[in-house]
């Protein structure tokens, strides 16, 4: 069948009918609009386009089902109307994309149909779509080939249309309350704001390792420091963690921060937001998720973490006053315990083990231990706990919020405790972020902060069994050809980094004339940092460097190394320069010094390597 499709394409090309040369088609109507606006007394001419989903021939007539972006409509084609083009209709395959011009009418069977007066093949499908009665059912294949899933399972498209509406309503809710939507970096040198393991990457130009964000909290709170009172950001987060129906390594999250309010206000925002979005999108605040009816109407239930553990695990942490006692009871309950585990950490683990499964109706769990809440204010009545909540629905956590910690001394101590945990083997412990400490030392007002998992919210409101069902392209492990392609690409990348064959290197003979030390000492060799680098207009060789040489003035040096380096890749590098040479004009620019490079002959051609130094060496350091 695949071979036959390709043979048909070659025949079309040989006849001068290559469908892939067509660039546009004038679409005047869509299936849904045609059906909803049908008037039996009015003959309406339309021009439609879509994919052939079925084809039924009866001699000199043919019926096609054409699916466009909003639905499916029947097309009626007759040989005596289309004449020579009827042969093209006969040659159509399921999956081909066509444009049809015609007149709308209703068949004797009562189906609204387009009677074709012209038909154009716009794209030839060279693959085989799943048979329509069975469709594409294998979940793994559906996620891998979402484009096919959307074609043969049209109800899937409805989920993503509804997702779009949910996201719009979230924004509408916050915008109407005076929140400002902002954007913060995805790449950073410190992935903070949550306890999670980040993904790492490398920035070639700056030659530094970077991390994809696990949360945007710390940047948003910097904006509150800077004077904004209400901000939010919705976007992708990345956590190098496990995958299950509730987790995907790449996910959409929203975080919002409001100055001069506490976590109680964040509770009100959370419950009102869920109720508002459900009512606006679904028309009701009561949903049915996988057979369970759940009311999202505010106000929601509240319970402390200590009370939840007492209720569902029959352990009263109010009566446990030492870490040793907590570890002893946790072991009795069957938890895996280490000697470093504290009262607070074990309270949190016991809650996760014994309580979450009972939280079906929307519930705020409050009073989290300090050990697992490094960014939340302490409870003034019990400093072991924090002013924090997590919102649970259907046993899943949907939201996390605090009265934000704005005491920089306390914050530093908690970060240091987290760093100690990381050094002890907890790769999800929060890293140190000195710039964030500096920001709240400038002054962070009392602030309430909230994070909501948007994907989980969409799962709930669209009644889908897994987070993968609400992600157009969920993360999948490569298989088959993908694995081979990844290996080929990796091999090509490694090939580009092959080390030089040193047997092909020739160097100039060493100088035999001596230079006295007094003459040599007159050259001022200094470490310089590249602040900016750009190409010199009209020059094939020169790059213009703006350098920090340790003085208060910026230094400009021009160097003829454009054939060996791009300007962008040298920004941020630490180089070596002679800084006491007399200025000289080069292409109209004044160059004050010389950058040092290593030059040799490699396989008959000149090879130049700019001398680059450890970034820890400060600008202005003198070389002896």
Query: Is 328 known as a binding-site position?
Result: no
- Work out the number of other CB atoms within 10 angstroms of the CB of residue 83: 9
Nearest to 272 by CA among 430, 391, 415: 391
Distance, CA of 515 to CA of 19 (rounded, Å)? 76
Report residue 212 CA to chain centroid gap: 9
- Work out the number of other CB atoms within 10 angstroms of the CB of residue 244: 10
| Residue 514: partners with Cβ closer than 8 Å, 6 or more residues away | none
Give how far Cα 519 sits from Cα of 162, 514, 523, 593, Å. 78, 10, 8, 17
Quote the Cα angle for 459-461-465, to 5°.
Answer: 35
Q: Are 328 and 350 in contact (CB under 8 A)?
A: no
Q: For residue 512, count CB atoms less than 10 angstroms from its CB and return exposed for 0-12, middle for 13-18, buried for 19 or more.
A: exposed
Cα first-last separation, the chain = 76
Query: Is 397 known as a binding-site position?
Result: yes
What is the full DSSP assignment across 107-154?
-TTS-EEEEEEEEEEEE---S-PPPTTT----HHHHHHTHHHHHHH-H
| Residue 574: partners with Cβ closer than 8 Å, 6 or more residues away | 527, 528, 529, 530, 612, 613, 614, 615, 617, 619
Q: Are 286 and 349 in contact (CB under 8 A)?
A: no
Q: Which residues are annotated as a binding site for Mg(2+)?
A: 390, 397
- Binding-site residues from annotation: 390, 397
């Amino acid at each position: 069948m695949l071979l036959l499709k390709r043979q048909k394409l070659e025949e079309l090309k040989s006849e001068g009918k290559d469908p892939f040369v067509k660039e546009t088609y004038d679409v005047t109507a869509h299936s849904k609009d045609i059906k909803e606006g049908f008037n039996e007394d009015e003959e309406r001419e339309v021009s439609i386009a879509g994919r052939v989903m079925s084809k039924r021939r009866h001699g000199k007539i043919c019926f096609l089902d054409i699916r466009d972006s909003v639905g499916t409509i029947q097309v009626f084609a007759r040989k005596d109307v289309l004449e020579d083009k009827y042969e093209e209709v006969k040659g159509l395959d399921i999956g081909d994309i066509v444009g049809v011009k015609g007149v709308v009418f209703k068949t004797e069977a009562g189906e609204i149909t387009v009677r074709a007066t012209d038909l154009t093949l716009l794209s030839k499908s060279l693959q085989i779509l799943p048979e329509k009665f069975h469709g594409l059912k294998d979940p793994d294949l559906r996620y891998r080939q979402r484009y096919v899933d959307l074609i043969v399972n049209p109800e899937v498209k409805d989920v993503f249309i509804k997702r779009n509406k949910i996201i719009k309503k979230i924004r509408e809710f916050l915008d109407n309350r005076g929140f400002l939507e902002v954007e913060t970096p995805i790449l950073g040198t410190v992935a903070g704001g949550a306890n999670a393991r980040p993904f790492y990457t490398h920035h070639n130009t700056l030659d530094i390792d970077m991390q994809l964000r696990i949360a945007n909290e710390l940047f948003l709170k910097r904006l509150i420091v800077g004077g904004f009172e209400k901000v939010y950001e919705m976007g992708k987060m990345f956590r190098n963690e496990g995958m299950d129906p509730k987790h995907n390594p790449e996910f959409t999250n929203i975080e919002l921060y409001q100055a001069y309010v506490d976590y109680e206000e964040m509770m009100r925002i959370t419950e009102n937001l869920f109720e508002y979005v459900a009512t606006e999108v679904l028309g009701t605040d009561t949903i049915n998720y996988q057979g369970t009816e759940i009311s999202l109407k505010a106000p929601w239930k509240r319970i402390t973490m200590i009370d939840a553990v007492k209720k569902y695990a029959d352990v009263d942490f109010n009566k446990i006053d030492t870490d040793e006692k907590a570890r002893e009871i946790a072991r009795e309950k069957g938890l895996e315990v280490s000697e470093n585990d504290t009262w607070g950490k074990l309270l949190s683990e016991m809650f996760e083990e014994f309580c979450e499964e009972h939280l079906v109706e929307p519930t705020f769990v409050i009073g989290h231990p300090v050990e697992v809440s490094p960014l939340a204010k302490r409870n003034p009545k019990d400093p072991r706990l924090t002013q924090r909540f997590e919102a649970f629905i259907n046993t899943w956590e949907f939201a996390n919020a605090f009265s934000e910690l704005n005491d920089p001394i306390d914050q530093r101590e908690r970060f240091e405790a987290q760093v100690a945990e990381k050094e002890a083997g907890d790769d999800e412990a929060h890293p140190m972020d000195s710039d964030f400490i500096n920001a709240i030392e400038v002054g962070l007002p009392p602030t309430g902060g909230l994070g909501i998992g948007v994907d989980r919210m969409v799962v709930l409101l669209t009644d889908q069994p897994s987070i993968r069902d609400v992600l157009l392209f969920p993360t999948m492990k490569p298989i088959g050809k993908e694995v081979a392609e990844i290996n080929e690409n990796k091999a090509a990348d490694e090939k580009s980094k092959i080390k030089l064959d040193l047997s092909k290197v020739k160097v100039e003979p060493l100088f035999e004339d001596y230079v006295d030390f007094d003459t040599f000492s007159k050259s001022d060799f200094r470490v310089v940092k590249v602040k900016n680098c750009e190409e010199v207009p009209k020059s094939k060789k020169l790059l213009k460097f703006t350098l920090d040489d340790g003085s208060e003035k910026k230094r400009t040096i021009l160097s003829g190394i454009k054939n060996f380096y791009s300007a962008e890749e040298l920004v941020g590098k630490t180089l070596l320069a002679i800084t006491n040479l007399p200025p000289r004009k080069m292409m109209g620019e004044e160059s004050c010094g010389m950058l040092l490079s290593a030059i040799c002959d490699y396989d008959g051609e000149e090879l130049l390597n700019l001398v680059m130094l450890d970034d820890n060496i400060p600008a202005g350091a003198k070389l002896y």
